Every structure is written in structure tokens, then in C-alpha cells.
Amino acid sequence: MIGRLLLVLMITIGCIDTLEIDLPDERADRLVVEGFVEKGEQDYVFFASVSTTQPVSDAPAITRLPATIDILANGLSTIQIINGVPIQIGIDEYHRQFGIPQESVQFRLRVNARGKVFESTDQAIIPSPAEGQLSFTQTTRNELNEIENIVQRPYIQLRVNAPLINDNGKKVSMRWDVSGVYQFVEIAWTDNPFFQTKSCFVYDRLTNSQFTVLQSDEVNGNTVEGFMIDELILDTRFYIGYYYTVLQRTLSDQAADYWNQIVLSGSREGSIFDVPAGRLSSNIRVVEGEEEDVVGYFYGTAVDTLRMLVRGTDVDQPRSPCPQEDTGDTTNDPCCNCLLLHNSTTNRPHFWEL
């Protein structure tokens, strides 16, 4: 039987995403401890999760364990975290409350679970380089469709130009997390003169782990240009416009190596514990109690947000998602009620500009 490790990723503040990785059966019920400190423009976000690996036959939900979780800063216990729940606090407020200098702070995760105490190594937040710039290219590939015919399928490739040297002169590793939102407009399905069609904004790919890792030693120079961080089928989502949101994260080389192992182990056959590629590094160890191997990682990251709108007129104009006249089914058709679409809202995102 095969087990499953559920690793928790934060895609946006308050949105938690899950990456599922197959594990061998004898590794089921292994302890998974992971977390991060995320530094934005004005706030910190603290997050930690304590759970176990699961057999694939079990329910896919994360099995979280009873645990006491503390964030330490320069060895001082500062705040407690509820398992699996992010906490947001102003950066200035945090340092004023605990009297710890922002420029020299080192964060550590401490977890009390299963009658043992686990701690991570200290993690600094590496300052970000200047924000990257997004661009896109369009490409076409020959692929088999559902009836085994070869068709040309268009894709949008999202790319980034980004410096890798921060203000301290350090070359840093990076991770880019990609999500998006697109506009969807209903059709006029009734002759009622008082009826008004709605325009919805549909948040896309919030439950998939769309991220790309670049380790600093993979690049000879000090910048990356045209580096592809995402590829998406050019379909009806682009009919009006698709707004990309990219979280650009600065990582230590060790954290980048860990996430790169996650990417590699999810793209190869076998389990992530196969030798040699399956030896996942971890910076979390038992400090009180009997020794126990732990899966997971704790890291600090500085985050910048990049956005770009790709309009339907910017690419080979995709077809409309709705027919020009109604199909007769006005109850279950998103073209008659766009709020039926998953993660849709009529509230325009604050960043949306057409």
C-alpha cells in the first residue's frame, strides 16, 4: 500500500493549499511538522502545521495532531499558533511588543507533540531583491484530444525577469507562486427589459500547487530573463481577461533546496523516499524526548506581489464561454448565473483594471 504526505502551502494570505505526495506504506503515520514566517510590506504571517502521513486509502483531509506551537525570536518565546491556522500581525507592532530588533531577528519553530519537543534551526528573513517584471509568450503544441485525434493546443507561458541580488549584495534563491482571476459575463437570456446581466470575477487555481523554485547556484549571472514560471492552456478564461497574481518569495538556499526536492519528488516515479532523490532534507529535530524522524521544514521568506493582465485581445482571441443565445437551462447554467462558478464573486478585485 502507498501512503500520502500532505504538505501545506500558503498561496495567498488566508488561503492554504495542499500538495499531495505518495509515500511508501511503512512510512505512514510519520510526523509532519512544517511552517513559515512570511514578511510582507507591513505584516508578518506566521503559520505552522503538525500532522501525520496517511495511507492513500484514508480520507484526503489532513490529520492534524494535538500540539502546542510556539514561535521563538532570538530564543525568546513570542506567540503561540493554533495548528493549521495562519496568524497575521503588523511588523512594527510585533517588534515593539517583544523588544526584538527587526534587522537582527532570527525565528525558530518549537512544537510540543507526542510527548516530545521539536525545534527548527533559526531562520532569518533574507531581504528581497527589486521586484521582478512579468511577461508572457504564446505557444502551440500538438496533442491528443479525448478521441485520440492530434490537435494543436495553445498555451500561455508566464515568464519573469528578475534580479537575484538584494540590497545587501547577496545572491538569493527564489520561489514564484502563481494564481489568477478571470472575468466572466452572463448572456441576456430573457426578454425582460428590467433584467441586467452580471459580471463575475472567478478566482482560479487556488487549490493547486502552482509554484516554481530557482536556486541561486543554478544561474551564472545576477538576473534571470524570460524565466518561465507557469504554463496555462489558452481557453475561455482568457476571453475577456486573465489577471495573474504572482507571489515572489525570497528563500535561503537551504529552503530552496527543500522545495526543489518537493518539486522533483512530485515529478518522478516511485516514492519521495527513494534513494537518492527521495532523501528530503529537514531542519526540524527532537530536542526533548526519544529521537524521531520528522518530515517538513520551517523557513522565513520575504514576499512581493507581482500582477499582470492578459486580455483576450492580447492573444489569439479565444471563443466566448457562452453561446449567443440561451440554451434553455437557466437554473444550472453559469452563463445565466455566473455565481454558480466555483470561487466566483461580483466584487471586482481592487487591482483589476481593463
Do 80 and 152 have their domain in common? Answer: no
Residue 146 lies in a domain: yes
Do 87 and 209 have their domain in common? Answer: no
Do 189 and 62 have their domain in common? Answer: no
Residue 196 lies in a domain: yes
Residue 185 lies in a domain: yes
Burial 201-231 (b: 16+ CB within 10 A, else e): bbbbbbeebbbbbbbbeeeeeeebeebebbe
Chain CA centroid to CA 61, Å: 18
> Could you tell me the pTM of the whole model?
0.83
Q: Which DSSP category does 171 fall into?
A: B
Do 72 and 166 have their domain in common? Answer: no
Which residue, of 287, 302, 317, is where some domain finishes? 302
Do 173 and 212 have their domain in common? Answer: yes
pLDDT (0 to 100) of residue 16: 39
Do 191 and 335 have their domain in common? Answer: yes
Range of the domain at 113: 2-127+253-302
Do 215 and 320 have their domain in common? Answer: yes
Q: What is the mean pLDDT of each run of 10 residues along the chain (354 residues)?
A: 41 41 53 94 96 62 87 96 96 96 96 96 95 95 85 94 94 95 87 82 79 92 95 94 95 92 64 43 93 92 96 90 69 88 95 83
Do 162 and 35 have their domain in common? Answer: no
CB 292 within 8 A of CB 286: yes
pLDDT (0 to 100) of residue 261: 85
Residue 351 lies in a domain: no
Residue 354 lies in a domain: no
Tell me the pairing of strands 31-39 and 294-295: parallel
Per-residue pLDDT of 12-67, as tens digits, reads 433 434 444 444 444 567 899 999 999 999 999 999 999 987 664 444 557 889 99
Do 237 and 311 have their domain in common? Answer: yes
Which residue, of 268, 284, 302, is where some domain finishes? 302
Residue 177 lies in a domain: yes
Alpha helices in the chain, H assignment, sequence order = 91-98, 253-266
Do 77 and 164 have their domain in common? Answer: no
Do 122 and 220 have their domain in common? Answer: no
Residue 353 lies in a domain: no
Do 245 and 257 have their domain in common? Answer: no
> How many separate domains does the chain show?
2
Residue 104 lies in a domain: yes
